[in-house]
């Protein structure tokens, strides 16, 4: 029998071994049978094939405990939604439990399938093979399609590799999705004709599934070569379906609404999004306005890129307010298989957009050399 | 111009008014334009029609601050996914911010439309007009369709009004969705023929959108008169589309994966799920194994049932391990417009299922009298 192993961080326990064991076992039941122990254990098939079993409990240096529970993988039905329920469904409702890590068996990785393009596919698309990539966003919300296309032209002329929509660009009255995508794709083509280098424009898809799938079809038809969504806004099952049943182009994952989840960031950004199919994962890093610790960022990048039951690696995309001055250090930190996202700060000085964008592109090129 | 007002709880500020003001304003920008202030304020349309504005800041008795921000409602594009991004997209990534409350204008309530059946529709369906309703679940995961149908027969004979699938029942190899739904619907019909009272069987739908919508069509075709999903597993935008584009029967919302969200529970369970279309909302309450404070439970119920821009009220469904002995007190606490969910404990004593189920149904009837 194959097992899905999940590690939970338990807070607020005073170190009494019997109490800790009981707490961990309560999670093992809550996440599978959700009936009193006596009810589940009366039936041999359920006791053997369904109930989670506590495999280990460790005390962490900060006084919390880490309990690892092995769930028979069949409980997940190999379904993208049911998997989340087994990982952290009801137990998420306990304020003292964090989902800290998980280790899916090969069969589950095969079922969810992970990134289709991944790092290799994005390098192929952008033609950038030997250095970290650069990324920025057309924004803010409130600009017209033409104004956003103007911005895109400047970024592309400056040599930025990937230019995405801000995740706040929806199908607004003042800036409709279809004309925006058309204007930005045309602008990227125009600069490619001028310079011989085609920036990758990545439209943001947002809405209910029907709407998102229609936006995807439109974008692909008009020539978009990648798209972005916010998986934790749409829901991870919808994200999986987008990646594996609808998209033929690579998919970038944006972290909007993700911090609302009580998952460890290295699990959510490093493992879950990769397993579900993100080709590149944007996360807020240590440099910028979110203050994520460096070891967490290193773990996210390692999880996205490491060997994992044959899944393609995902491209780590640190963002969240990187200052231009910090770019060289950030490139050294993440290495070449990463894409730096610098957004609003490129627009900071009026009239200096092209210069600041060029400085960003060059800083990454130099630091990767 | 209409505004969506959102209240955030800010922790860890020492009371310096300038610092608090700056923190609140940073959220107003993060949630809309996400560029430096100078960039946004250069353009009159963006400054006037897009950027959120801080309306008030209050210090709470516990030392935290509550900042209310008014967002021009057009920023939401009246879209179920974009709304979440404006409410709590990037700001959810700041560990010191909780989304505490929101106040949508009438136009947004009209666009999202809320419950279709609500309390009135569920009373109509069950025929229970003058007392609190009773609910239980067929489970655990690992039983066959026939075993679950046997359980359902016992619950229905005991007079329980609503019998739902456990939220962990997916399309498992050992218990497929279609035969399970058929067996349970047939069991409910059989007991209705015997007793003249038809229990409402509510199948659980789970999976990616394609799968969930197919399950819904199957269930409705075979005669299911209500369904259940876990909106925070599927994603709220998918939930909205299910309620308003696919379902013709009422939809119960299960809280699985919901505690993972850093929203105030009275906002998430009391307002968001109602706005998105839940006809009944299951939440874990003060009685049971989750230890939610009573005032929070009262606020959830009040939010689900109160007048709100013409939205139909949703039925509050407290669950999470209510002990049979506590049932009368719980009924007094929530009043008649509620449904009590008692699950695994009905199966606790072998051979006593019918008796315990009957005791539950009778306790609610007596307490509501």
- pLDDT value of residue B34: 86
Inter-chain contacts counted by CB atoms under 8 A, chains A and B: 290
Collapsed DSSP state (helix, strand, coil) of residue A30: helix
Residue-wise pLDDT for A6-54, tens only, equals: 999 998 887 788 989 999 999 999 899 988 888 889 999 999 999 999 9
Question: Which member of B142, B207, B255 has the closest CB to residue A49?
Answer: B142
Nearest-CA distance A133 → chain B (Å)? 22
Residue pLDDT, tens place only, B101-148: 889 999 998 999 988 998 899 999 999 999 889 989 999 999 999 999
Residue % of chain A over a pLDDT of 90: 69
Mutate to test the interface with B, among A8, A29, A89 (most CBs of B within 10 A): A89
- A185-236 confidence digits (pLDDT tens): 999 999 999 999 999 999 999 999 999 999 999 999 999 999 999 989 999 9
CA-based nearest distance A368→chain B, Å:
27
CB–CB contact B172 A206 (8 Å): no
- Give the pLDDT confidence score for residue A268 in this predicted structure: 82
Check CB contact under 8 Å for B77 and A171: yes
- From the number of C-beta atoms within 10 Å of its C-beta (0-12, 13-18, 19+), residue B367 rates as middle
A305 close to A338: Cβ distance less than 8 angstroms = no
Q: Which residues in chain A are closer than 8 Å to B319, comparing Cβ atoms? A: none
Contact A39 B259 (CB under 8 A): no
Residues of chain B neighbouring A321 (CB-CB closer than 8 A): none
Residues of chain B with confidence (pLDDT) below 50: none
Q: A-chain residues within 8 Å CB-CB of B237?
A: 207-209, 212, 233-235, 238
Cis peptide before A140 (omega within 30 of 0): yes
**B8 dihedral zone (left: phi>0; alpha: psi -120 to 50; beta):** beta
Region class of A64: left (phi > 0), else alpha (psi between -120 and 50), else beta: beta
A262: confidence class by pLDDT, cuts 50, 70, 90: low
Among partner residues B46, B234, B344, which is closest to A35 by beta-carbon distance? B344
pLDDT of residue B221: 98
User: For the segment A102-117, what is each residue's pLDDT rounded down to a tens digit?
Assistant: 999 999 989 999 899 9
CB B351 within 8 A of CB B315: no
Predicted pLDDT of residue A32: 92
Q: Nearest-CA distance from A100 to chain B in Å?
A: 12
What pLDDT does residue A283 have? 87
- Reduce the DSSP state of residue B24 to 3 states and report it: helix
Q: In the 8-state DSSP scheme, what is residue A347?
A: G
Q: Which candidate in B235, B245, B269, B282 is best for mutational testing of the A interface (most A CBs within 10 A)?
A: B235
Q: What is the pLDDT of residue A234?
A: 94
Q: Give A-chain residues touching B36 at CB under 8 angstroms.
A: 344-345, 347-348
- Report whether B346 contacts B323 (CB < 8 A): no
What count of residues does chain A have? 369
Q: Which of B325, B305, B311, B358 is nearest to B134 (CA)?
A: B358
Chain A residues with beta carbon closer than 8 angstroms to that of B289:
26
**What pLDDT does B261 receive?**
62
Is B172 close to A74, i.e. CB distance below 8 A? yes
Crossing angle of the two packed helices B294-305 and B327-334, in degrees rounded to 10 = 50
Mutate to test the interface with B, among A136, A170, A245 (most CBs of B within 10 A): A170
Given an 8 Å threshold on Cβ–Cβ distance, is A75 in contact with B257?
no
Q: Specify the pLDDT at position A208.
A: 96
pLDDT digits (tens, 9 = 90+) for A320-346: 889 999 999 999 999 999 999 998 888
Give CA–CA dist B125/B130, Å, rounded.
14
Please give the mean pLDDT across all residues of chain A.
92
Q: Do B34 and A140 touch (CB under 8 A)?
A: yes
Q: What is the pLDDT of residue A224?
A: 98
Distances in Å between the Cα of A313 and the Cα atoms of A120, A122, A309 are: 8, 11, 11
Across A299-314, b (16+ Cβ under 10 Å) vs e yields bbbebbbeebeebbbb
Helices (H), chain A: 17-30, 37-41, 44-49, 80-88, 106-112, 118-126, 145-157, 177-195, 209-221, 231-234, 236-241, 265-267, 273-276, 294-305, 327-334, 353-368
Contact at CB, A172 and B36, closer than 8 angstroms: no
In chain A, the percentage of residues whose pLDDT exceeds 70 is 99
* pTM, 2 dp: 0.91
Question: B88–A35: do the CB atoms touch at under 8 Å?
Answer: no
Tell me whether residues A233 and B235 touch, CB distance under 8 A: yes
User: Pick from B86, B212, B256: which is nearest to A89 by CB?
Assistant: B256
Which residue in the set B79, B80, B93 is minimally distant from A284, CB to CB? B93
């Amino acid at each position: 029998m194959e097992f899905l192993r999940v590690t939970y961080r338990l807070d607020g326990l005073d170190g009494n071994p019997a109490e800790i064991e009981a707490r961990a076992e309560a999670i093992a039941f809550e996440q599978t049978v959700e009936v009193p122990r006596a009810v589940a254990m009366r039936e041999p098939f359920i006791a053997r094939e369904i109930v989670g079993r506590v495999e280990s409990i460790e005390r962490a240096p900060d006084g919390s405990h880490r309990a690892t529970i092995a769930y028979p993988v069949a409980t997940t039905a190999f379904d993208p939604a049911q998997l989340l329920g087994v990982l952290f469904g009801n137990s998420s409702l306990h304020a003292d439990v964090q989902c800290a890590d998980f280790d899916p068996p090969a069969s589950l990785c095969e079922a969810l399938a992970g990134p289709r393009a991944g790092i290799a596919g994005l390098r192929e698309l952008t033609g950038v093979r030997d250095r970290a990539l650069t990324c920025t966003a057309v924004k803010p919300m409130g600009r017209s399609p033409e104004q956003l296309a103007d911005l895109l032209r400047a970024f592309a002329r400056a040599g930025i590799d990937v230019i995405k929509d801000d995740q706040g660009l929806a199908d607004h009255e003042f800036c409709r999705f279809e004309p925006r995508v058309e204007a930005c794709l045309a602008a990227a083509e125009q600069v490619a004709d001028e310079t011989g280098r085609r920036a990758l424009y990545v439209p943001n898809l947002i809405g209910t599934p029907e709407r998102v799938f229609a936006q995807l079809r439109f974008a692909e038809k008009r020539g978009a070569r990648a798209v972005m969504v916010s998986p934790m806004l749409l829901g991870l099952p919808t994200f999986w379906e987008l990646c594996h049943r609808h998209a033929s182009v690579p998919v970038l994952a944006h972290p909007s609404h993700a911090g609302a989840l009580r998952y460890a960031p290295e699990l959510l950004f490093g493992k879950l999004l990769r397993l579900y199919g993100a080709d590149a994962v944007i996360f807020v890093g240590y440099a910028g306005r979110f203050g994520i610790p460096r070891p967490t960022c290193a773990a996210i990048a390692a999880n996205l890129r490491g060997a994992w039951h044959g899944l393609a690696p995902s491209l780590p995309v640190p963002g969240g307010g990187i200052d231009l001055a910090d770019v060289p250090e950030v490139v050294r930190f993440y290495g070449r298989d990463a894409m730096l996202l610098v957004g609003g700060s490129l627009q900071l000085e009026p009239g200096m957009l092209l210069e600041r964008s060029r400085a960003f592109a060059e800083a990454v090129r130099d630091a990767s050399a």
